[in-house]
Amino acid sequence: MSQKTCLITGATSGIGRAAAMALARQGFRVIIVARNKDKAEATCRRIRQVTRNEAVSWYLCDLSLLRDVQALASQLRNDLDSLDVLINNAGARFLRHQLTPEGIELTLATNHLGHFVLTLSLLDLLERSAEARIINVASGAHYGADGVIENILRPEEYDGKKQYARSKLANVLFTYALAERLKDRQSRITVNAADPGGVATNFARNNGLIPWLKHRLYYLSKRQLLSPARGAEIVVYLASSPEVRGATGKYFFEKKERRSSAASYDIENQRKLWELSQALSGLGH
Ligand X SMILES: NC(=O)c1ccc[n+]([C@@H]2O[C@H](COP(=O)([O-])OP(=O)(O)OC[C@H]3O[C@@H](n4cnc5c(N)ncnc54)[C@H](OP(=O)(O)O)[C@@H]3O)[C@@H](O)[C@H]2O)c1
In the complex, what is the shortest distance from the CB of residue 228 to ligand X, in angstroms, rounded to a whole number? 7
**How many residues belong to the site for ligand X (CB under 6 A)?**
26
C-alpha span between 128 and 3 (Å, rounded)? 14
* CB closer to ligand X out of 10 and 129: 10
Q: Which is nearer to ligand X, 31 or 129 (CB)?
A: 31
CB of 114 to ligand X, least distance (A): 7
Q: Which residue from 28, 58, 176, 203 is in contact with ligand X, where contact means CB under 6 A?
A: 203
Query: Which residues are marked as active site?
Result: 164
The whole-angstrom separation of Cα 137 and Cα 157 is 26
Round to whole Å and give the CA distance between 234 and 215: 20
Q: Is 136 in the site for ligand X (CB under 6 A)?
A: no
Q: Determine the Cα–Cα distance for residues 254 and 67; give it in Å rounded to an integer.
A: 35
- Three state DSSP letters for 119-181: HHHHHHHHHCCCCCEEEEECCHHHHHCCCCHHHHCCCCCCCHHHHHHHHHHHHHHHHHHHHHH
280: Cα separation from own chain's centroid = 19
160 scored as a contact of ligand X (CB under 6 A):
no
Q: Could you tell me the smallest distance in angstroms from the CB atom of residue 173 to ligand X?
A: 15
* Near ligand X by CB under 6 A: residue from 5, 51, 64, 121: 64
User: β-strand 198-199 against 225-226: which pairing, if any?
Assistant: parallel
Judged by beta carbon, residue 129 or residue 191, the one nearer ligand X is: 191
What's the closest the beta carbon of residue 84 comes to ligand X, in angstroms? Answer: 21
Query: For ligand X, what does the binding mask look like between residues 94 and 123, x meaning CB under 6 A?
Result: ----------------x-------------
Contact 7, 86 (CB under 8 A): yes
Q: Residue 230: what residue type?
A: R
Select from 192, 193, 198, 250 the one that contacts ligand X (CB under 6 A).
Answer: 198
Distance (Å, whole) CA 132 – CA 82: 9
* Cβ atoms within 10 Å, residue 226: 18
Binding mask 7-36 for ligand X (x = CB under 6 A): ---xxxxxxx------------------xx
Shortest Cβ 1–ligand X spacing (Å): 30
Binding segment for ligand X (CB under 6 A), chosen from 49-57, 143-151, 198-206, 240-248, is 198-206
State how far the Cα of 71 lies from the Cα of 119, in Å rounded to an integer.
Answer: 13
Give the one residue of 6, 19, 22, 62 binding ligand X; rule: CB under 6 A.
62
Per rule CB under 6 A, is residue 48 in the interface with ligand X? no
3-state secondary structure of 284: coil
